[in-house]
Structure 1
Amino acid sequence: MASYHKYNNKKGLTLWYVKYRKADGKRSSKRGFKTKSAAQKWFREYQVNVDHYGNAIDISITFEEVYNKWLIAYEKSVADTTAHKTKQLFKNHILPALGNYQINDISVSTLQRLVNHWDKILVKNDCQLYTNLVLKRAVQLGYTHTNPMDGVIKPKKKARAATDNFFNKEEFAAFLKYLKIDYENKNPRAFMMLWLAAATGMRRGEILGLEWNCVDFNKKTINIKRSLKRAAHAYLGAPKNRPSVRIIAIDATTVRYLKRWKKQQHDMMRSFNFNTYRAKGQLVFSTYKNNKALPEGTADKYINCLTSKHGMKHVTFHGLRHTHATLLVENNVNVKSVSERLGHSSMETTLRIYVNNDKKANHEVANTFEKLMFSKCSQK
């Protein structure tokens, strides 16, 4: 049997607590319920645990405390960048919703509401996955008998909308025109960064982490072996995957622009007492005052300002990589060559993510097949 009583907490709020006997006969109590019915509900669930498992777990530990224990092992199993992104997900979405919950007070209905909410507000919803990992760890550590996430129904995966994050041939020509007008003389660093992204299809991290010793002007190549990554701080690490370590060819115009930018950078940095010609591991793009890696947002800011000023379609910095791949394939460059240039693990990745066919291309396919049909009929 249990008895229910009111009390006032330190803030003067009237709350309820329940007094009961545990399975071993010892007296105990549970405090902090806003209503009597909430206290009764908790005790019913407590009795179910006793009936089902032979005992109930009375450990007082919050979701955030279990998360901190889980995080120690998790950080050792993944790359720094992955751990950083995961911690940001918990900080921004999961801990504000569940952090203060006692682990045994988290219900299926609470989680279902949260999962449905996350699915609405997030493009990529990994919150359910990571919440589940923490709750599984709580079970493994003996803080609770069951994982309430097992009873949550995962929302149906949204169909991925076709992306429009690239320039077609005409839009790209306009982009290059305005790039020269706005940046070539007034902001040569912005000009070179956007030009290089469009001319090579390199990833943002690969461009921001590019060093001059990886650019070979004589062979007209760029050796991509490092990428700028961010965890607690920015650092240069290996590119995204094994195929991303690659050597790509660059055209004569890009070589000429890079040579010009190398001198421009050197001249500007001399006023801040940096000799970029002699600096070991000198970045192609760096801050002027302290010669450090640029913030990731710099690349997006450059292209956003340009497209907004001229009323162009909004395309992100990553969209220049998308543009590069699409225009190459549309101009009959071998997909395998494009895939290797982009550092993809397979041609399927290139076709699925970056290559787009418009309605005109589809009509061309139909017209080609029509010719084949009539040629076969005429032979009969």
Structure 2
Amino acid sequence: MKKRKDGRYQSSVTITDPLTNEKKRIYVYGYTEAELIREKERVKRNNNTSFDNITFNLWLDEWLKIRKEEIAPSTYYNYVFLINKYILPNLKNINLSKITPSTIRNILRNISGSRTKQYTYVLLKAILGQAYKDDLIKKNPCIAVNPPKYKAKEKQIISDYEFKKLLQYAELPIRNLFILAYYTGIRRGEISALKWENIDWDTNTIKIVTAIKIAAKGNLISTPKTENSTREILVSKNVINILKQQLLIQKERYLKHGDKLTKNDFIFTSLKDKNYKKMLTPMNITTIFNKIKSLAEIKSNITFHSFRHTHATCLVEANLPIKAIQARLGHATAGFTLTTYAHNTLKMQKEIVGFLDNKAKSMSN
């Protein structure tokens, strides 16, 4: 304690953050020693952040710092979106120790979509689960709450008839995009991110090294969905031909605007002339697909993602090597491909390409 020139007494209080163990010094002042003591006690009360008084909001900040280092930016932004919309309004200033199973149920009860409800539950369970691991709470209240049920829609494949109808109503360059999706099984976000530098004309391969992720803050160029999704796939002659056609289309379009196409430009770009250099986003692709599906009067529940499912199905039905299919599609688990120890080889890829070339010929008849 010391006396200042203005006549006030000065002292300080050191506060320790129980989450980060960081120390912070707060200075207090008073015209009398008694006033100074009262001010020190007030600061201590207001900054009482012992484990028993940690609020959900305070812990959430620390949890997000942890997760931000471990997950993709798009996943992080989606976490933040769900938290801000469904979780924080209900839990912001509540002490962690006061959150009960009933609290969790009330939050979930006010969410309408079953998929969103399930995501929110999983997120809450992870946030509070980490708090339990860090000994901030005695148990995770989510454990006592039954996980929300969600039944995924049954996957649909595109029939040969539907594929021909889609191509009939799709104009260039969208027709090329549909053919690429059908004969490669590349994800929507991967197609959006494809650039001409990703095409190796000498080896007839496409390198999947980036993907567009849809996040709360817009489209992000990121790494593909999983580690296995970064891959190089051999493609059939008909795919190379449509890519060459697409190259000419893009060169002419850029030339029209007094511009020159480069290897760093996207393969598929916005259909609007003023945005001719901007990528065709995943949402653009979905909107266009739905419009053409409607024009073609296709009544089934197929979506753009059905191209990927159809590609996988026709390869499996042809009894092609499961490991090669897994590598081609970039699946993360061997369980999906029914085997763990088979090895992907160039011979396997050539078998796939031979089958796809024959299928392409049959489509043109």
Fold shared by both chains (TM-score > 0.5) = yes
Structure with the larger RCO, 1 or 2 (CA within 8 Å, 6+ apart): 2
Q: Secondary structure at the match of 2:314?
A: helix
Instruction: Give the corresponding residue for 1:149.
Output: 141
Give per-residue Cα distances to partners, 1:103-125, cap 9 Å, x unaligned: 56533322233346659722671
Q: Which amino acid aligns with 1:312?
A: K
Match of 2:193 in 1: 209
Matched, 1:166 2:149: no
Q: CA deviation at 1:91?
A: 2.8
Select which of 231, 250, 255 maps to 2:240. Answer: 255
Structure 2 residue identity aligned to 1:251: S
Find 1:339's aligned residue among 312, 326, 330.
Answer: 326
Give the TM-score normalised by structure 2.
0.67
Q: Quote the offset at 1:323 in angstroms.
A: 0.6
Give 3-state SS (helix, strand or coil) of 1:294's partner. coil
Letter in 1 for 2:157: F
Query: For the Cα contact (< 8 Å) 1:228–1:234, is it kept in 2?
Result: yes
Pick the aligned partner of 1:275 from 260, 270, 273.
Answer: 260
1:122 alignment partner, SS class: helix
Alpha carbons 1:115, 1:154 under 8 Å: kept: no
Aligned to 1:301: 287
For the Cα contact (< 8 Å) 1:307–1:314, is it kept in 2?
Answer: no
Q: Percent identity?
A: 27
Using the size of structure 1 for normalisation, the TM-score is 0.64
Cα distance in 2 for residues equivalent to 1:189 and 1:320: 17
- Of the structure 1 ranges 310-319 and 113-122, higher mean CA displacement relative to structure 2 is found in 113-122
Amino acid corresponding to residue 298 of structure 1 in structure 2: N
Partner of 1:264: 249
Offset of residue 256 of structure 1: 1.6
Q: Distance in 2 between matches of 1:155 and 1:331?
A: 39
Residue equivalent to 1:67: 60
TM-superposed CA distance for 1:254, in Å, is: 1.9
The amino acid across from 2:178 in the alignment is L
Q: Mark the CA change 1:95 to 1:251 in structure 2 (over 3 Å): closer, same or farther.
A: same
User: Which residue is 2:164 aligned to?
Assistant: 177
Residue deviations 1:173-216, cap 9 Å, x none? 223322332223xxx23222221111100111221111112213
Q: Tell me the alpha carbon deviations over residues 47-84 of structure 1, each in whole angstroms, 9 at most, x when there is no partner.
A: xxxxxxxx995x4x753454234323321232212212
Alpha-carbon distance between aligned partners in 2 of 1:149 and 1:257, rounded to the nearest angstrom: 55
Which residue matches 2:212? 228
Q: Tell me what 2:222 maps to.
A: 237
Contact 1:197 1:320 in 2 (8 A): yes
- Aligned-residue Cα RMSD (Å) equals 3.4
Other-structure match for 2:20: none
Count, aligned residues = 287
1:130 correspondence with 2:123: yes
Q: What letter is aligned with 2:118?
A: N
Q: Tell me how far 1:137 sits from its aligned partner.
A: 6.1
Q: CA separation of 1:257/1:146 partners in 2, compared to 1, >3 Å: closer, same or farther?
A: same
Structure 1 counterpart of 2:102, from 86, 109, 132: 109
Distance change in 2, residues 1:335/1:117 (3 Å): farther
Deviation of residue 148 (structure 1)? 6.1
Contact preservation (8 Å) 1:193, 1:299: no
67 and 208 in structure 1: CA distance in 2 versus 1, 3 angstrom threshold:
same
Q: Find the aligned partners of 1:56 and 1:176 in 2 and give their Cα distance.
A: 60
Asked whether the 8 Å contact 1:234–1:293 carries over to 2, the reply is no
1:327–1:100 Cα change, 3 Å: same
Q: Which residue matches 2:268?
A: 285
